[in-house]
Amino acid sequence: MGGHEKNYVQKAIEDNWVSTLGPNLAGFEHDICQHTNARHAVAVNSGTAALHLALRLLDVRPGDEILCSTFTYVRSANPILYMGATPVFVESEEETWNMCPGALQEAIVARQAYGRLPKAIVLTHLYGMPAKVKEIIAVADEFGIPVVEDAAEALGSRYSGHQVGTMGRIGAYSFNGNKIITTSGGGALVTEDQRLAEQALFLATQAKDDAPFYQHSQMGYNYRLSNVSAGIGRGQMEVLEKRVKQRREIFNFYRSQLQHIEDLVFLPEPKACFSNRWLTTVLLPAGHHPEHVRLALEEENIETRPLWKPMHLQPLFAKFPYYGNNLSASLFERGLCLPSSSSLTEEEAEKVVKHLRRILEVA
Ligand SMILES: *Cc1c(COP(=O)(O)O)cnc(C)c1O
């Protein structure tokens, strides 16, 4: 927490705005727009909900195909299944680990040949690193397919000066407990399009018709964020920039202390990209299996995690189409997420470095 969250929460309780209505919601949405330069923001109770709403807004129907980054967290892809749509997974490129524009083009052309032009693209900015948005949108525009940016892990990251999440038709942020800032659980949908923003709010609040009684013509959801959680969000927005700075410092510390280890790879920032470095990830040198390193660090009470297992390798998605060269599988087999919490102390980071050196320097 940054410190001011409890003031906003206390005010919500004192004023009895303990509901999915109240002034913190508008305040939080305003803060999100201020920070990201998005025109409209709708606060919801998870990033997954924001992505689900995005697909509804794009009129995705059962049986439609949706292109999706394969190297992502399952929460990007689940909303495609909620819609009864078919995910078509697209491989990453090496520079950002995010969706490869060439593989995207290949996928669209192949699906088109089956007479099925995909309805939308869900583009993840993984671990805070911006995808090659310009190239992706160029391919998408060529075929008239809207892009939904899954910026759940990337609030505060920029691409060519633009905040990620604001370049596609719709963007989604997450304020889950593990993200760079949190509302304990929460998310937001952002868009330039006022009509889409209004429709998102309508669907997120049960889609009640404009009638004096409870009448419904469309299927809605109970997806609105609570005013109490939004209060946490307002306090957190005050420290977002500080959090980005902290995460980047953690990344720089690990890199400066460990980059001499041969074949240990830290993902550099390509020219147009500014990453919030949500998590510091590394690719381990040949001969060091991530699971062995993870267990060796666990013995020292240091928690590391594997990289996300790509969606096309998940049992849940095994039957769905996939396009690419399996890069994400090799990243998954070599990679590890290092402790990256904003609250990580210098001593703790030094301890991680000490033990990683010990483990990796003995060949
Ligand atoms: C966290 C996350 C989401 C959304 O998660 P919620 O917990 O529902 O807020 C979506 N995509 C990715 C890549 C994520 O990491």
- What CATH number is associated with residue 121? 3.40.640.10
For residues 72 and 145, state if they share a domain: yes
| Count of domains forming the chain | 2
Q: CB–CB of 124/92 below 8 Å?
A: no
For residues 222 and 285, state if they share a domain: no
Does residue 75's CB lie within 6 angstroms of at least one atom of ligand 1? yes
For residues 264 and 197, state if they share a domain: no
Rounded CA gap, 47 and 175, in Å? 7
Q: Which residue has the tokens 């195909």?
A: 65
- Name the residue range of residue 330's domain: 240-359
What's 355's domain CATH number? Answer: 3.90.1150.10
Q: What's the 75 CA to ligand 1 centre distance in angstroms?
A: 5
For residues 230 and 269, state if they share a domain: no
For residues 248 and 300, state if they share a domain: yes
The pLDDT of residue 136: 98
Last-in-domain residue among 187, 214, 237: 237
Q: Identify the segments of the chain with pLDDT beneath 50.
A: none
pTM: 0.97
Which residue has a Cα nearest atom 11 of ligand 1?
Answer: 76
The pLDDT of residue 149: 98
Amino acid at 297: L
For residues 74 and 122, state if they share a domain: yes
For residues 62 and 187, state if they share a domain: yes
Q: Is 266 helix (H, G, I), strand (E, B) or coil?
A: strand
DSSP 8-state assignment for residue 282? E
For residues 76 and 30, state if they share a domain: yes
DSSP 8-state assignment for residue 270? P
Does residue 153's CB lie within 6 angstroms of at least one atom of ligand 1? yes
Return the closest-CA partner of residue 35 out of 278, 276, 340.
276
264: Cα separation from own chain's centroid? 25
Q: Which string of b and e fits 104-127 if b means at least 16 CB within 10 Å?
A: bbbbbeebeeeebebbbbbbbbbb
For residues 318 and 344, state if they share a domain: yes
For residues 279 and 210, state if they share a domain: no
The pLDDT of residue 362: 65
Last-in-domain residue among 187, 211, 237: 237
Question: Could you tell me where the DSSP H helices lie in 46-175?
Answer: 47-57, 74-82, 101-113, 133-143
Give the position, in ligand 1's atom list, of the atom nearest the Cα of 175: 9
Rounded CA gap, 3 and 63, in Å? 47
Rounded CA gap, 176 and 75, in Å? 11
Q: Name residue 322's beta-bridge partners.
A: 89
The pLDDT of residue 316: 98
For residues 270 and 166, state if they share a domain: no
Q: CB–CB of 121/60 below 8 Å?
A: no
Last-in-domain residue among 237, 261, 277: 237
Q: What's the 212 CA to ligand 1 centre distance in angstroms?
A: 37
Strands 86-90 and 322-323: parallel
**Cβ neighbourhood burial of 270 (10 Å; 0-12, 13-18, 19+):** middle
For residues 227 and 285, state if they share a domain: no
